[in-house]
Structure 1
Amino acid sequence: MLDAVDDEVPEDLLRHVVRTTGIPPGLAHRLVSDVMGYFVETATEYVRRRHAELQAQGLKNAAIWDRLRRELDTRPVAAPKFTERQLRRIVYG
């Protein structure tokens, strides 16, 4: 089970969810925290977790690799931790 992110919920996102859904702020915070926690995995963490889940369902590796490639094409994953130097290289080349 993946953990919620708790205090890391962006206030603007929380306000948006409350405004657009009408749910109370406390429930909106929990909902956003749970969803963000679901998507906080790095690609490596996601692949390891899903491989184990799919293997437990009886799938063979050939089918698992194909499925993981397709899932990663559509799934947001957490960005890696960048150093200041890496960030500068992204911006300035």
Structure 2
Amino acid sequence: MPAVPDPELVRRIAVSTGLSPAEAARVVEDVVAYHQEPVEEYVRRRHAHLKAYGARNPEIFARLADELAGRVVAAPDLSERQLRRIVYG
């Protein structure tokens, strides 16, 4: 059973965006779900996406490190070696 979003946050989103409370709750749930993705899954998914668009590993791993550092709930600092191990095992 998914957690019920914080009612105060839902109210605040609804008021600031003009969304209905149900729509605001859905937005909050979507954002929370996005940020609950485990670091390993995020790294694998983004690596595959960037690779599919022609990026090379040195560029990809630098970009992943920057992206992870900027997440709302920041992931731990991972070295390029640690990122490679997530992707390639």
**Same fold, TM exceeding 0.5?**
yes
Cα distance, 1:18 vs structure 2? 2.0
Do residues 38 (structure 1) and 34 (structure 2) align? Answer: yes
Give the Cα separation in 2 of the matches to 1:71 and 1:9. 25
Cα distance, 1:66 vs structure 2? 0.7
Residue 38 of structure 1 aligns with an amino acid whose one-letter code is: Y
Q: How does 1:11-90 map to 2 (within 5 A)?
A: 11-77=7-73
Instruction: Give unmatched runs, 5+ long, in structure 2.
Output: 76-89
Percent of aligned pairs with the same residue?
44
Aligned alpha-carbon RMSD (Å): 2.3
The alignment of Structure 1 onto Structure 2 pairs a total of residues equal to 75
Give the Cα separation in 2 of the matches to 1:43 and 1:65. 14
Instruction: Give unmatched runs, 5+ long, in structure 1.
Output: 80-93
Runs of 4+ in 1 over 6 A off after TM superposition: none
TM-score, length-normalised on structure 1? Answer: 0.66
TM-score, length-normalised on structure 2? Answer: 0.68
Bigger mean CA offset, 51-60 vs 20-29: 20-29
